[in-house]
Structure 1
Amino acid sequence: MASSDSDESLESHGSEIGHQTNVFVRVREWFLVKGSRLYVATIISLAIFVLFLLLNELGIIAFVNDDSVTRLAGGMIAGTFSLVTLVVSINQLILSQEFVTADTAREQLTGVMEFRSDLSALAQVPASPASPTRFFELIVEAINDRATTLADAVDAESDGGEIIHQFTDRVEQSSEQINNTLEQTKFGTFEAVSAAVAYNGAWQLYAARHIQGRYDESLSEEASEALEELISLIELFITAREHFKTTYLQRELTRFSQLTIYCGVPAILSAMTIGFIYADFAGPTVHAVYLPYIISALIAVVASPLALLVSYILRTATVTRRTTSIGPMVPQKDPDSGPFDVSAGENQE
């Protein structure tokens, strides 16, 4: 097959930063990833409250049948206990990852120190930053610097020059976008991890490896060295992103477990209150006018642990799905997209 390097623009075809101009997309991103999980859970609980009131107004449901509501309250108590038990199991699973021997702890520390040392050498700094946000900023700055060096060292009219300049332009644009995002974040916030997730390092690594394999022999020594360092820096970025993503998700799930326990007790008490309201032989102890509002509110409180579960699972599942690529393997890409078209034995030709 003939290469289409000069015919197609070098696009990453991945999730990039700063391109979410559509209102629906911004709202979706806030709901799935960027928004506080407490706010999202609160919105879900309020939606449940409004839903039950609306169904009552439309005559679809009613709150006057003692037996039905009492059975519902019993089911909600059992369901809440089951959810809390599940959350405790998740918390135990997370804690089990923290129990390591001294040898394992030393190996982990050695690996982290070697990783930080590699970045310090490539970025030419005395020591890499401790803050995750500043750590990402340093890697991105180094990536942008190597991309600029590579572009300056390659003539656009030379063999592969056009595709290399397209590639470096794309890398520089992505670097500037993620830097703008990271500069507006604070230490410990999710935006830093979110920006790193959106950075399409897997595609850049794939493109850089392809360029190196096809044009390395025609590159100058300076360009070849810049390309090699660029590849190493992108690999470091992907490694750092996976490390910080894992650390953050562990903290996220731990926080979810804690909040679920906090909400579990009020949820069980609310379900019990619903049962007590209908426990009188004469019927509900609350006036019929206020009954729909009170029962709907209590049901919303009972559903709060489930709302928390939904809000946290939405974020963790979205982050995991968007980082499924392993190195230059990009499973979410269309097989026919992109400028690189290769066939077996091409280098021999």
Structure 2
Amino acid sequence: MTDGTERSEILDRTYDPSEDDDATVGSANTMRERAGESRLKLWILLEANRLVATGVLAALFFVLLVIGGIALDPPFLTTVRSGDVLDSIFSTMASATITGVTLVVTITQVVISQELGPFGDQRSRMSGAMDTREYIRELTGLNSAPADPSALLSALVAAAQVQAANVKEATERIDDEDATEELTEFCDSASENADVVLDRLHGATFGTFDLLSAALDFNYGRKVFEVDRLLARHNDAVDEQTRTALNDLRDALVMFGPAREHVKTLYFQWALTSLSQLVAYAAIPALLVSVGMLAFVDYTTFTGSFLAVDNIVWVTMLAFSISVLPFLLLLSYVLRIATVAKRTLSIGPFVLRDSQR
């Protein structure tokens, strides 16, 4: 058993958010502010169109390979003449393409299997979904919960903004100056963040990353923590009306969490299914080029030069860049999915990044 003295010592070493005088209620809100990384890096990993990113990677491969074929010694033409370099490269690429398509098909099967189940399981899923929609309807005050994902998220963000305005209005009756200042600053920060997210959600369609990107800009988890911290810190100063408004705000913020995670899950399934289709499409020209280079091309097929570069260098490096397209597609999609997953590992008020501490 732990006696009173030991318990007191343990509590003294425990961080109490309600006693944190240095806490910032207007913390970083958007994902760009929370990430602490360059705008260019985040644009490449997340915002850039995946097909454009794949094309840029393929072009970069081509340019670097051509430069290597020119600059390295011995020249590429000499290497091709002295061995079976082309056979080794493109037989490997053909095998890799078939293996890659098999891998992606396996991923698709895993995604599809999550949607399969007996009648009872499907009924439970439907029942849970309808109960959640009824709760959202009551929370937002709408006649019915929106069916469109962007409208649903917008309704929850707007509900949080309305409740933040109610909290700010209620704080005008508080006599404690510190409590009024902190609560007003928090409400202003939450309202500004909601304005940014609502603007981005307007017109965003499911299937594009714009919808999920906008949802990631609403820092709901930190706001839930701030509501709890402010309630504990100013427990004596807050009146019943302000406490009720804060709890209503907390309910709206808490509901946004599972809604965002549901949209994220659906997007991941959509993206992985789209990836499977694109890899299958890209595998056809990749295999044709690889087999064509194996069957019909050697160092005598393309003689001469263009722009002072041997034609065999241009042809080989272009063929390799086409052959590697399925892998580049997989890379571009996985980078986005992994980046989003890394930044949304936890649900609720759980801080994992130093930029939010």
| Alignment correspondent of 1:114 | 131
Partners in 1 of 2:207 and 2:92 — Cα distance?
Answer: 39
Misfit runs of 4+, over 6 Å: none
SS in structure 1 at match of 2:24? coil
- 2:244 maps to amino acid: E
Partners in 1 of 2:212 and 2:136 — Cα distance?
Answer: 18
Partners in 2 of 1:272 and 1:157 — Cα distance?
Answer: 80
Partners in 2 of 1:187 and 1:248 — Cα distance?
Answer: 8
| Alignment correspondent of 2:100 | 83
Q: How many residues align?
A: 330
Partners in 1 of 2:231 and 2:120 — Cα distance?
Answer: 39
SS in structure 2 at match of 1:128? coil
- 1:223 maps to amino acid: T
Contact 1:205 1:235 in 2 (8 A): yes
For the structure 1 residues 249 and 139, does the alpha-carbon distance in structure 2 shift closer, same or farther, using more than 3 Å as the test? Answer: same
Residue in structure 1 matching 2:24, options 1, 4, 9: 9
SS in structure 2 at match of 1:312? helix
Partners in 2 of 1:186 and 1:298 — Cα distance?
Answer: 36
Identity of aligned residues (%): 28
Q: How does 1:51-130 map to 2 (within 5 A)?
A: 51-60=64-73, 62-64=76-78, 65=80, 66-130=83-147
Contact 1:119 1:128 in 2 (8 A): yes
| Alignment correspondent of 2:250 | 231
- 1:309 maps to amino acid: L
Q: What runs of 5+ residues in structure 1 fail to find an aligned partner?
A: 339-349
Contact 1:277 1:284 in 2 (8 A): no
TM-score by length of 2: 0.85
| Alignment correspondent of 2:263 | 244
Contact 1:178 1:196 in 2 (8 A): yes
For the structure 1 residues 71 and 217, does the alpha-carbon distance in structure 2 shift closer, same or farther, using more than 3 Å as the test? Answer: same
For the structure 1 residues 175 and 273, does the alpha-carbon distance in structure 2 shift closer, same or farther, using more than 3 Å as the test? Answer: same
Q: Which has the higher helix share?
A: 2
For the structure 1 residues 157 and 270, does the alpha-carbon distance in structure 2 shift closer, same or farther, using more than 3 Å as the test? Answer: farther
| Alignment correspondent of 1:173 | 192
Tell me the alpha carbon deviations over residues 74-93 of structure 1, each in whole angstroms, 9 at most, x when there is no partner: 11111111111111111111
| Alignment correspondent of 2:293 | 274
Contact 2:157 2:194 in 1 (8 A): yes
| Alignment correspondent of 1:141 | 158
Contact 1:6 1:163 in 2 (8 A): no
Contact 2:61 2:321 in 1 (8 A): yes
Q: Does 1:215 align with 2:229?
A: no
Contact 1:45 1:300 in 2 (8 A): yes
Partners in 1 of 2:86 and 2:230 — Cα distance?
Answer: 67
Give, in angstroms, the shift of residue 13 of structure 1. 4.1
Contact 1:53 1:292 in 2 (8 A): yes
| Alignment correspondent of 1:201 | 220
| Alignment correspondent of 2:279 | 260
SS in structure 2 at match of 1:261? helix
Give, in angstroms, the shift of residue 193 of structure 1. 0.9
Contact 1:13 1:333 in 2 (8 A): no
Contact 1:139 1:237 in 2 (8 A): yes
